[in-house]
Amino acid sequence: MPQIRTSRPAQGTKAKSAPVETDVRLDEGVILELKGLKTYFHLDEGTLKAVDGVDLPIREGKTLGIVGESGCGKSVTAQAIMRIVPKPGVVDGRMLLRLRKHGHIGSVVDLGKMGENSAEIRKIRGGEIAMIFQEPMKAFSPVHTIGNQITEAILLHNTPDPEEAEAIALDSFKKVGMSNPEQRLKEYPHQLSGGMRQRAMIAMALSCNPSILIADEPTTALDVTVQAQVLELINELKSSIGTSVVFITHDLGVIAEMADDVAVMYLGKVVEQTDVDTLFHGAVHPYTRALLGAIPTVTADEGRQRLLSIPGTVPFPMNLPTGCGFYSRCKHRDSERCMGEEIPLTEVAPGHKVRCRIAEGSVQPKAGY
């Protein structure tokens, strides 16, 4: 995982400028829009399509939940937005961002046209868009103290005053419930437990009051009590300064609690996209319905029933046949209609899109998911 520290480009690296896309307009209330986003890894064995044509809007002050099994492309989508996809990954498509904190406020820039080490993208990382990584030990530099790394980000994006930056860092540690925060700021990453490192990562992301916060499984290493505190903190940030949140998780319970809009991903594609209420009460795609069916319940009537499981695993996203990626695991599959050509994302209701022949009406759903 690339370092989150916003350090200077290496010597000999020339920062490329990215022009403001003055001719591009985003819909009212949208702060970031992904259009045809692809992230391919060209390997000797073939082309691995980690993200394959994602179109998603992120609304201002709202939370977009991205859900799916491991390997479906959730984290790579976040890395593409931050322009930190590891080599030999290649990012294509448009990532249109409305600036709120620097440059021409309100203008729209295309992140896809910015160099990975350019001055423009370094201003956006941490300032406009911050990210909570899934593995904090790999995100922190092992040779700098936690406090040094957080204050560096604050000095770059918030204030030139070192004393004020230290005060902001300390306050961020207190907000995430870090024990003995003054001492923890002086320690190195290896001196903190996994839960403490995750809280430090969250504190760093929140310290600069970003316009967009990308949270990639932010509560994985935390106990239930601290999880609740972190989720509450993210919601407070969203309500107090209007931060938009992209919340990546496999936990539909967290999605129900946190999200306004939801995108379900499978094999690098969005297979269902809608608001959170519609997802839980009117899901259409068989994969989404299967995920919902696998949620455990505690009701008396269903307490003794076996949990639903989805047969098989997510296929490896390389050299796949054309058609539905969920075909081999789907009870409704139709070889004539589901395979052989790309299946479009069909709007079944205003704001509700589904990538399935069932949504088109050409395949009739059978019993089960």
Query: Across the chain, what does the average pLDDT equal?
Result: 84
Asked if residue 208 has pLDDT above 80, the reply is yes
> Is 103 strand, coil or helix?
coil
DSSP state of 330: -
Spatial distance between the Cα atoms of 316 and 293, rounded to a whole number of angstroms: 24
For residue 365, the model assigns a pLDDT of 66
pLDDT digits (tens, 9 = 90+) for 52-79: 999 999 999 999 999 998 889 999 999 9
Contact in structure between 76 and 39 (CB atoms under 8 Å): yes
Do residues 54 and 157 lie in contact, with contact meaning Cβ atoms separated by under 8 Å?
A: no
In this structure, of 33-47, 96-110, 144-158, the range with the lowest mean pLDDT score is: 96-110
- φ/ψ of residue 282, rounded to 5: -150, 35
pLDDT for 6 equals 37
- Position 50 scores a pLDDT of 94
pTM of the entire predicted model: 0.86
Examine the pLDDT at 121 and tell me if it is beyond 80.
Answer: yes
| Rounded Cα–Cα distance for residues 198 and 194 (Å) | 6
